[in-house]
Copies of this chain bind each other. A is one copy, B any other.
């Protein structure tokens, strides 16, 4: 995620391609999904919906006439705005020539993050300008390794991180940013682990000082980071978790470890917490920003810490909402050190995208993978969408329908999943999906958790 390497990664695959490159090393990856036919065989027409204008842009680098081109599907942000700005494109390129330290990954699953919703609206400054392939995390199988890569080999199942460019069938990433997956981990779990769990872990254990007996307020407790944070809180004795979520999700988050679920839509969470714990809480994880940061600060016990790691309150409608942004900005917590001294409180900000410490990444992932092996954490997959369903995936997260992680699958939706009458374009499926999504949208309007 260093600013030096990330932005260029999505262009990497469009460099020279040798046709004799093995397409995949599926034999080493028992859990790898079957049916991932050669991307080159995927007809562009199959990705027409959504969005309708997909495959609009020609590949940046046309393959040399004598080489067999490699085609792959990619989700490209073509401009800032609504859902239709993310288009499924089929790119064609020569075989990428890997630099030293790089690996080529055949991507099997990708994570959708709130950052991508912000990025689509033009609110995420770390994503390069459109057009750009989105995606910060994924999992897959190593298909080729560059020079000086000694600890990765073709066929390794890995989690991969990048600043952008993971939402495509093949991606070139730095080997340092890949992590070997345990055998029992599915690709979906691998894609769900990195951003959410690293964010939660670094906040709770690097930034705050979570110890036995402490209490934590977790907003959006049914979201990706919320579930990760709740699970990580369980790794410490006697931690009380207050979690906000809509009532329908309370049973699930309670099973996941939330001690006191709070329906923020019908109750004032500050009052609810004060009823249970008059002195407040020790740690507040705040992905909302604005007035919620002020509330969280007020809830802190002495020596407590609030960590602001998002501004979800900025995101209301499908497009950039200047009023919501202004409101969030205006209401954000501003303070000086004198005030902090008198209250004995700590305020911090966290943004994984601005962390460039490779050792920290490595150490954290190593800890998380160990916790996974011990069964102490397990990513909860809310749903998996194929690339052509990215609009539904984004809607699901935007409308806070998800409980856990929303996954994107590069491989095309299979024929058997589609109604036979619309086998090629899957129109009915998409229409059905859209209809369901709209219904839910009414039900959960203005919901956030």
**A contact set with B: CB distance below 8 Å:** 202, 205-209, 289, 293, 301-303, 305, 307-311, 329, 332-351, 354-357, 360
Contacts and interface: CB of A to CB of B under 8 A. Distances in A.
18 contacts: A202-B303, A206-B303, A207-B209, A207-B305, A207-B346, A301-B357, A302-B357, A303-B355, A307-B346, A308-B341, A333-B337, A338-B349, A341-B349, A343-B354, A344-B351, A345-B348, A346-B346, A347-B348
A354 B303 CA distance: 11
A229 B169 CA distance: 53
Nearest to A210: B209
Contact of A344 (B302, B305, B355): B355
A348 B349 contact: no
Give the dominant DSSP class at A's interface: mixed
A293 B350 CA distance: 20
Contacts of A337: 289, 293, 308, 332-333, 347, 349
A293 B335 CA distance: 14
A441 B278 CA distance: 50
A332 B339 CA distance: 11
Sorted nearest first, the 5 A-B pairs with minimum C-beta distance are A340-B349, A346-B348, A341-B349, A209-B209, A308-B337
Contacts of A305: 207, 346, 348
B209 A208 contact: yes
Contacts of A307: 346
Contacts of A293: 337
Contacts of A334: 334-336
A208 B345 CA distance: 11
B354 A349 contact: no
Contacts of A340: 308, 347-349
A303 B207 contact: yes
A310 B335 CA distance: 16
A363 B338 CA distance: 27
A332 B338 contact: yes
Contacts of A206: 209, 303
A345 to B, nearest CB: 6
Contacts of A308: 337, 340-341
Contacts of A207: 209, 303, 305, 344, 346
Contacts of A338: 311, 329, 332, 349
A172 B311 CA distance: 51
A347 B347 contact: yes
A308 B208 CA distance: 17
A308 B202 CA distance: 23
Contacts of A301: 357
Given A303-B202, A335-B335, A342 B354 contact: yes
A333 B293 CA distance: 19
A329 B342 CA distance: 15
A284 to B, nearest CB: 12
Contacts of A341: 308-310, 349-351, 354
